[in-house]
Amino acid sequence: MNNGAAPLVEVRGITKRYPGVLALDDVSLSVRAGEIVALTGENGSGKSTLSKIIGGAEQPDDGVLLIDGEPTVVANPATALRLGIVMISQELTLAPHLTVAENVFMGRLPRRGGLVDWPAVRSRARTELAALGVHVDPRVKVGDLSVELQQEVEIARAVSSKARLLILDEATSSLSETATERLLELVREQGRRGVAVLMISHRMPELYATATTAAVLRDGRMVGVVPLPETPEPRLVHMMVGRELNDYYGGRQVTPGPVVLDVRDLASDDGALAPTSFQVRGGEIVGVAGLVGSGKAHLGMALGGAIPATGEVRVNGTRVVLGDPRRALTAGIGLVPDDRKRAALLPTRSVAHNMTLSWLRTLSRFGVVPGRTERRRVREAIAEYGVKTSSPNKLITQLSGGNQQKAVLGRIFALGCPVYVLSEPTRGVDVGSKSQIYGLLQKLTAGGAAVVIISSELPELIGLADRVLVCFRGAVRGECSGEQLTEQVLNAIAVSGHIHTDDSGEAA
């Protein structure tokens, strides 16, 4: 499908300025029908800006956008939709109270005589979903579906609206490995049918498994367009960050100390986590793997006191009262929840106030926050944890995802807890920031902290953890370390609950 007709979408010399910064500098890129182009680069490199311009949400200061070779002004997202440009982001845009069928045809419900033709809505939704291999009842309310299924419904809607260009903006970042694989298969299928795809993702394996081309942005410039999967990964990463990322996960020479965290029969009251026991020594990093719904997220929340739970948790021998985050914090368990937006950020507050949130109890004297000490400690933490912000007084939501996450991690790390429970600590974070976060984790354990990392990214767990616990259907079903610590083994336990399932070769 090369050459021949004009590319479906082409941008030429796109420049976008924001005050003080050039977000996009003379960027050119083309996407042909049937081509799957991965748009990569660190957070803040301009990927989102470029996709917003193509999607009509932003206007370029300079340069042209060509659709089918014709210069076109995509004035707003509605225009983009009419041109067949459909954007899917990690945030779902479905209406949870409406049915699957209603969502699929939202804004274009089939009508007859001025009234909605409900039988047609349902039957057409059923055929559309079946064609994509999405097995849901179109009459079910979207809010009752799992996040994975919701994401598939979202794709179904995009596809059934006769999308010609599909833009996926980190659409897989909140999905489990299996759901991601399903979604990527859908995307590849669209590619085979001649739909052009522009995907933004931080996950290397999925880029290599899906995309035909990688376009790399760095600091607003197009560094290069290379074919996939021929280009080796280190070279691609080098293009993205502009330097070698040796020692991505960071090495460490820590001899595990005495047991710091002792968990016995910990179970959540809602039944999502069955009684679980394990120990973590000082200086040790223990990973927790598992599919979405396997109970791994609940394990983290139960440890941090975020949800009611039973069992026995001891930190340095002292028993922790469960089900109360204040008590857990006092006992020395620092929790970083998986959903930054829902459970960690104060979106209306400054970077400084977000960081101070965790310190209020230790920082204040007689209920008063000492202003000077606070400002000093915020400055120190911003420097130490590498949070890039022009001022501590800036709104936290104006930082990139990676820097928000570093602020959230930094405020907890600064507490010096003996135990840290980190749920998806690098979700939606670019490679550069990830590497920094791994470095911070290594530093923590060097200081003798016991660290539990819950993650959906197996390479991350394998690279960081001394051993990995695998959750399956609400309980820890396996533990891997040393030779056994491979994606195949972890995946096998995660999908079946035990190791010897021949070849459930799900690994990417």
Residues in the site for other proteins, rule: CB under 8 A? 17-21, 23, 42-45, 48-49, 219, 304, 306, 325-326, 329-330, 335, 337, 342-350, 352-353, 356-358, 360-361, 364, 367-369, 371, 379, 382-383, 388-395, 398-400, 402-403, 411, 430, 432-433
The least CB distance from residue 375 to other proteins, in Å, is 9
Hey, how many other C-beta atoms are within 10 angstroms of the C-beta on 468?
Answer: 26
Smallest separation (angstroms) from other proteins to the CB of 497 = 30
Which CB atom, from 87 or from 468, has the smaller least distance to other proteins? Answer: 87
Taking each helix axis as running N to C, give the angle between helix 118-131 and helix 147-160, from 0 to 180 degrees, rounded to the nearest 10.
100
- For other proteins, which is the closer residue by CB, 209 or 357? 357
| Rounded least distance, CB 195 to other proteins, Å | 28
440: helix, strand or coil: helix
Cβ closest to other proteins, residue 10 vs residue 338: 338
Nearer Cβ to other proteins (108/379):
379
Q: Closer to other proteins at the Cβ: 107 or 367?
A: 367
| C-beta of 138 vs 220, nearer to other proteins | 220
CB of 409 to other proteins, least distance (A): 13
282 or 392: whose CB is closer to other proteins?
A: 392
Residues 272, 338, 88, 290: is their CA dihedral positive or negative? negative
Which burial class, exposed, middle or buried, applies to 102 when counting CB atoms under 10 A from its CB (0-12, 13-18, 19+)?
buried
Q: Which of 294, 305, 318, 293 is nearest to 269 (CA)?
A: 305
Strand partners, 85: 165
Q: Given the complex with other proteins, which of 59 and 481 has the nearer CB atom?
A: 59
Strand partners, 165: 85, 196
Whole-number minimum distance, CB 389 to other proteins, in Å?
A: 7
Alpha carbons within 13 angstroms on the beta-carbon side of residue 184 total 25
Smallest separation (angstroms) from other proteins to the CB of 297: 14
Strands of 158-299 (E only): list them. Answer: 165-169, 196-200, 213-218, 221-227, 259-268, 276-281, 285-289
Report how far apart, in Å, the C-alpha atoms of 126 and of each of 101, 153, 179 are.
8, 11, 20
Q: How far is the CB of 304 from other proteins (least distance, A)?
A: 7
CB of 477 to other proteins, least distance (A): 28
Nearest approach in angstroms of CB 10 to other proteins is 23
Tokens of 111: 């009508």
CB 328 → other proteins: shortest distance, Å? 9
CB 359, min distance to other proteins, A: 9
Distance from C-alpha of 345 to C-alpha of 357, rounded to nearest angstrom = 10
Closest by CA to 260, choosing from 447, 463, 454, is: 447
| CB within 8 Å of 85: residues ≥ 6 apart | 9, 54, 55, 56, 74, 163, 164, 165, 167
Alpha helices in 46-133 (DSSP H): 47-54, 77-82, 100-104, 118-131
**Which residue type does 360 have?**
L
Of 44 and 478, nearer to other proteins (C-beta) is 44
Q: Of the two residues 162 and 365, which places its CB atom closer to other proteins in the complex? A: 365
Task: Check: CB of residue 305 under 8 Å from CB of residue 328.
Answer: yes
Instruction: Residue count of the chain, please give it.
Output: 508
Task: Report, in Å, the least distance between residue 236 CB and other proteins.
Answer: 18
φ and ψ of 500, to 5 deg: -85, 75
Residues 479, 467: contact at Cβ < 8 Å? yes
Residue 51's φ and ψ, nearest 5 degrees, are: -70, -30
Comparison of 30 and 45: residue with beta carbon closer to other proteins: 45
382 contacts 392 by C-beta, under 8 angstroms? yes
Q: State which residue, 264 or 327, has the beta carbon closest to other proteins.
A: 327
Question: What does each C-alpha distance from 231 to 208, 235, 236 come to in angstroms?
Answer: 9, 7, 7
Instruction: Select 330 or 488, whichever has its Cβ closest to other proteins.
Output: 330
**Residue 364 and residue 29: Cα distance in Å, rounded?**
53
Q: Cβ of residue 412: shortest distance to other proteins, in angstroms?
A: 8
